[in-house]
Amino acid sequence: MSEVNEKNFYIVATAPNEPTLQVKISGPYLTEQAAMADLTAAIDEALGIDPSAKDYKYSISYVESRKPGVIQHMAAHA
């Protein structure tokens, strides 16, 4: 089993009325290009989970974490 990088790229959703509320919705990605390639699909999936996701601001962040994004977490437990 390969070691998971501690620092990776994630697609992050930021609440429109609470900028400190950020949720990793997708990732981890090893490169920013991989995250960019998946950005539209990740937003579409977030909208399928919660229609209010249309109000969120989406960005790609390079953060330290070993936990999967919400979409990967939900897929693993479906």
pLDDT digits (tens, 9 = 90+) for 27-41: 999 999 999 999 999
Structural domain boundaries, residue 70: 7-76
pLDDT band at 6 (very low <50, low <70, confident <90, very high): confident
> Is 2 part of any domain?
no
> Is 59 part of any domain?
yes
pLDDT band at 72 (very low <50, low <70, confident <90, very high): confident
CA distances to 9, 19, 43, 47, 55 from 75, rounded to whole Å, are 19, 27, 15, 15, 23
Place of tokens 């977490």: 73
Whether the predicted model's global pTM rises above the 0.85 cut: no
> Is 1 part of any domain?
no
Count of the separate structural domains present in the chain:
1
- Per cent of the chain over pLDDT 90 is 64
